[in-house]
Chain A
Amino acid sequence: NAGVTQTPKFRILKIGQSMTLQCTQDMNHNYMYWYRQDPGMGLKLIYYSVGAGITDKGEVPNGYNVSRSTTEDFPLRLELAAPSQTSVYFCASSPPTGGDGTDTQYFGPGTRLTVL
């Protein structure tokens, strides 16, 4: 299994441009997440999905959109890039919560985005 893969690894955008960050997992996990991490800070949840066709907002959803048409893919869309969106973006997935809380989240390697 490749686990969670993210593309691209790096990207520089100009203000106002748009782009899609790709995330794919091959573990057949129901749950998928998008986090952002600003320099020196912890991760903050942007959006999450509990299954294909179902998404919900996290802590910092403004400026982003997501879709979940398949179990494997969970792309994150930036429509009008702003300098405040300069960050490292991590995608994660996890199986449904088991009775003992065994719902480990598996993270991808991240996408480093700079908006100038």
Chain B
Amino acid sequence: DAKTTQPTSMDCAEGRAANLPCNHSTISGNEYVYWYRQIHSQGPQYIIHGLKNNETNEMASLIITEDRKSSTLILPHATLRDTAVYYCIVRIKAAGNKLTFGGGTRVLVKP
């Protein structure tokens, strides 16, 4: 699975959009981009995933560049409850469906 690079931490003002970047320059054609988050002391929670097209759900939007070498997770209106570590993961469809967690981005939403 391709390696990802994320900023270690970032702050965001409550009510504003939070834009979380992720670089995955070695991504291969059949690898998807997944985002999970982990709120303090809880198990990770799935947010969104995509292959080529931009995706949106009730939690967030995912913007993937045309060359697929980077992506951005957008939390449209950050709340204090969005404070968490956000993990960008790229992976192929394979038996076992393993997730490889890197360091993630620690997001602090401030009032």
Contacts and interface: CB of A to CB of B under 8 A. Distances in A.
Contacts of A102: 49
Contacts of A92: 43-44
Chain B interface: which size bin?
Answer: 20 to 34
B51 A45 contact: no
Contacts, number: 58
Contacts of A45: 98-100
Contact of B49 (A50, A101, A109): A101
A90 interface: yes
In this complex, the member of A33, A50, A92, A103 whose beta carbon has the largest number of chain B beta carbons within 10 angstroms is: A103
A18 interface: no
B96 A48 contact: yes
B103 interface: yes
* Majority-rule SS of B interface residues: loop
B44 A43 contact: yes
A26 interface: no
A64 B84 CA distance: 29
B45 A107 contact: yes
Contacts of A101: 32, 49, 51, 93
A35 to B, nearest CB: 8
Nearest to A95: B97
Nearest to A97: B93
Interface of B: 32, 36, 41-46, 49, 51, 87, 93-104
26 contacts: A4-B43, A31-B96, A35-B101, A42-B87, A42-B101, A42-B102, A45-B99, A48-B96, A48-B98, A58-B98, A90-B43, A90-B44, A94-B97, A97-B97, A101-B32, A101-B49, A101-B93, A102-B49, A103-B97, A105-B36, A105-B99, A107-B44, A109-B42, A109-B43, A110-B42, A110-B43
